[in-house]
Structure 1
């Protein structure tokens, strides 16, 4: 993370604890950050961040997951954070092969437990549709592209063309309309992380999040799938009540949807402790072998 000495203390502490790995990606590296030790009882736990993000989307969850006995791996997805652009393409589908190659290089044929937030949840679905053997289970968090929203529910403001002194107000606006329900959380850590992340987004023309591509990919995902969303996720608003039926209709082994009260889109940041309880419960349940039947129906 550029300017690490100026990063929030939470980020500096986690960076000091992390091990950094790199796998090939386009003309450079796909950068991975890892915490904790390998466990003989648990596979690697891979967390994928959201759009315009980096590993810091998980800054309030990493230490608790390590304390729960997990080894945590978080890549800066291609085109974001410290990672190079993918070799071809400029959207979620372009990230699949660099991630696949990186995961195979880092821990071989062992499947991981895969958790994807927002854009990262969409990437995770595409990844497992092409390479279902990569994961023991999938948890999607605040993922778009489920085909239940008739039109975009928010409008972000552009900021790159503005003088530097006018940009912070636009970042506050964007955090408020998309990421966080509680406006009191915008200042401080959230704003600092957001600004550092969006400055390093080199894939600004992404469009797949506004399609139903995740819903079309999930029938090919054979492992257990859980979903976690903030009850007030700005991606869905009043259509959020349709999500559970949408997942049940397309996921062969859908294990359940958890809504976190008093949380918006960035649910794991806004409500880290209720989110952690839901995630650990999902991971425990998802470790049970898949009993997948036809798409949309788990075998009983």
Structure 2
């Protein structure tokens, strides 16, 4: 079945998405989940043989309040790889899980997805932002499942410490208020176009008008695609309660950190400290970009990933 190509939010903007996917169903704890399975661009079906058949598949985990759409520009920039991107449970087309949507629950989802999709130990696990916390937890607890770990905009510092604490606490109050209100006004607050646009404007660092419009369109279209208020509050609390640093010393596989010079959530110093804490890590710092590497510099991120994997698999 065809997957995502260019989406409605990208019309009239110079960003094209051309790869298509088979949408794979996954059952996790009795819930229906979905994963977009992109075959290498020069083959006809996921996992089929070709010149790049020896390249490892890449399984991607998106960030908080996003869904698989957010990582599609990096998917586009890795055409030689089979790439699999699910929606996290409770976001996009993912059904809510029973119980709390915390890091252990999401890590369990990733482990189940890897097994159900038949992915072996050669798989590369990639996480962006909140996805970096989930992916690093999986890698630390189940290192036998993957070959390499790639973290894009990794969460390297506690959200409630340092200069980000006031912003993080204000955000927590926002999510708490949305959860405490009656259903209709609570959902309206969470999905407020003004608040979503404000978040988008703060995160986008590019000065290209067309790209900024496209980023805002992506957030308008997908940032409010969640199942209910409980999922959002649970996931937000999870996103500010843990960091990659918590499990860094336990990461036994090669790790690539793709960080950003202007990231408001992870400082350059924090990323450098994280890299030193991981036994086998490489840090690539992209200039002139913030927390939206996946939107603003996907080609540069993909080039770093390709170089990292080529040297590891040569």
> Please, what TM-score do these two structures have when normalized by structure 1?
0.80
- Counterpart selection for 1:33 from 29, 36, 45: 36
1:6 shift after superposition: 4.7
Counterpart in the other structure of 1:170:
195
Structure 1 partner of 2:298: 272
Inter-partner Cα distance in structure 2 for 1:122 and 1:280: 22
Counterparts of residues 35-50 of structure 1 (less than 5 Å): 35-37=38-40, 38=47, 39-50=52-63
Cα distance in 2 between the residues matched to 1:36 and 1:57: 18
The answer to whether 1:126 aligns with 2:137 is: yes
Corresponding position of 1:79: 90
Residues 77, 83 of structure 1: 8 Å contact kept = yes
Q: Which residue of 2 aligns with 1:204?
A: 232
Distance 1:161 1:226, change over 3 A: same
- Where 1:207 maps in the other structure, the secondary structure is helix
Q: Take 1:180 and 1:275, find their aligned partners in 2: how far apart are those partners? A: 16
Give the alignment partner of residue 192 of structure 1, picking from 209, 213, 217.
Answer: 217
For residues 172-230 of structure 1, give each alpha carbon's deviation from its aligned partner in whole angstroms, at most 9, with x where no partner exists. Answer: 210122x3113646753222221232222342122233244421222222110110112
CA contact (8 A) 1:215 1:247 kept: no
Q: Deviations over 1:6-25 (max 9, x none)?
A: 55459xx8587211001112
Normalising by structure 2, we get a TM-score of 0.77
Question: Residues 161 and 78 from structure 1, CA distance in 2 versus in 1: closer, same or farther, beyond 3 angstroms?
Answer: closer
- Structure 1 residue runs of 4 or more that deviate by more than 4 Å after TM superposition: 4-7, 13-16, 155-164
The 5-angstrom pairing of residues 79-98 of structure 1 reads: 79-98=90-109
Compute the displacement of 1:253 (Å).
1.4
For 1:116-139, what per-residue CA distance to the aligned partner results, in whole angstroms no more than 9, with x for missing partners? 100111110111122111110001
Q: Give the Cα separation in 2 of the matches to 1:77 and 1:162.
A: 19
Q: Any stretches of 5+ residues in structure 1 without a counterpart?
A: 289-300
Distance 1:219 1:49 in 2: 23
Q: Matched residue of 1:40: which SS? A: coil
- In structure 2, list runs of 5 or more residues that go unmatched: 41-46, 179-184
What is the CA-CA distance between 1:29 and the residue it aligns to? 1.7
* Count of residue correspondences: 278
SS at match of 2:216: helix
CA contact (8 A) 1:45 1:73 kept: yes
